[in-house]
Amino acid sequence: MHTTQEWHSSAQMNMSQASFAQKKSAKQCDTSRKAHDSTVTDNLGMYNELHGSLEAKVKTSYRLIEKLQKRAQSIENSIAHTKNSLQLLEAAHRAKDAPMQLNFWRMEQREKRPLREQVRDFVETTLEEEKHVLVDTQRKLHEAIRKSKAMINALEAKLDEVRHDLDHKQQALSVDEMCLRTTHRSWQTVVERAPPSRTHSGSTRLPSAAKSRGQMGQQAAVHESSKNEVARQNEAMRLNQSAAAREESAKELREENSRLIARCERAAEEATAKSERMMQDRINENQGIRRRLANEIQETQAKIEGTKHTISDTKSQIKSLTEPIEMTSTCSSWRKQRATREHINDPVSTKLAEHQTMLLRSHEELRQHHQQEKTALQDLQERRERLKEDLRDKTTALHIDLNCLTHEAMVLNGRAGKSMNNNKLHRAMKVDPGFVPMPSTVGSLNGSFTAR
């Protein structure tokens, strides 16, 4: 049996231990409640930070996507404008085919001039200059076409790159938005389940969470993630800037293409106008020479007629000397029959001899003049024929130049060629009514004269 003191001591010990357990339990409960509060606070704080991070990420993604979408649309517009510029370049390049064919045809036609007319005149040199200008413009336009095609390929490649990045960002945005909605629903659930006393403090400030994030490992992770996000945004901005720079290059190329088209068109028109102006000057010069040749032919013909008349007169004069010569011969013959005593060299004999000598000398002079007149007549006739031949050659050359001048470059049914111009033809007919246009290979645009 235990003693009363032991019984009291045992009871006291049990109560002391129970009191200690109660205090320990109460302390543990307080600690647990603090842990609960800290957990709720940290959890809600992390929810807030996660929600803020997701919200910032989504806003950033929207901003980047909007910028990339605008850039993609801008690149598409730039591609469309550059393709239009390319079409204008190709049209300008094709537009030089007709003047080029007309230039070649004119040079080929002028090679058919008579040999004496095949001189290296200003028309030939300007046609060669025009050919050089047309070839040079086509070369420059071809180079611009090559650059434009390369620029279009570069823009399309950049557009693919922007669209590829845009697709990735849109896919990532959809994932982040889904996470944002899920996080928000989970956060609402946690808030609803959390005790009221704990939600007020935990929903605003998170000192324990901030302390927990102060650890070195978490700091390194936060720094790395921030660095990655900045790199992501910078990469998108670099892509946008590089695309903008390429668009600016395309714009400069289009502007240069426009200036090049205008310069080439102006150079081709000036070269063609100069060729036609030189051709018109050559026609006027030829007309002047032809008029002089025609006048010279008329004067030569008049001289021929005069020479023929003189020859006829000389023949008459020679013929008129026949009777006096015969008379002097007859008289001389008769006077030889005089009696011996009377057969003397008297004044009559002297005059008959002088008369006969004069007649024979005149006859010889007239005969020589007649021969010289026939020689002069033959020379005049030869000169006249040479003048006529020269006139025919110059007329042929004139008609060739008129034929070249009456044709103009044209494009019919997408094919480059040449055509007769009625207005120019009428002016050519005024220059020489005998001009007949030579046929070409392309139908006339004006309808009346059709080259076949």
pLDDT computed for residue 76 by the predictor: 95
Radius of gyration of the chain (CA): 59
pLDDT at residue 200, rounded to an integer = 43
Q: What does the mean pLDDT of the chain come to?
A: 84
- Does residue 148 contact residue 86 with C-beta atoms inside 8 Å? yes
Using DSSP's 3-state secondary structure scheme, residue 2 falls into coil
Query: In terms of pLDDT, which residue wins out, 345 or 3?
Result: 3
N- to C-terminal Cα separation, the chain: 151
> Picking from 218-222, 282-286, 368-372, 391-395, which range would have the lowest pLDDT averaged per residue?
218-222
Per-residue model confidence as pLDDT tens digits over 76-122: 999 999 999 999 999 999 999 999 999 999 999 999 999 988 889 99
pLDDT over 60 at 214, yes or no: no
Under 8 Å between Cβ of 401 and 281: no
Question: Confidence band (pLDDT; 50, 70, 90) for 176?
Answer: confident
* CB neighbour burial string for 301-325, b if at least 16 within 10 angstroms, e if fewer: eeebeebeeebeebeeebeebeeee
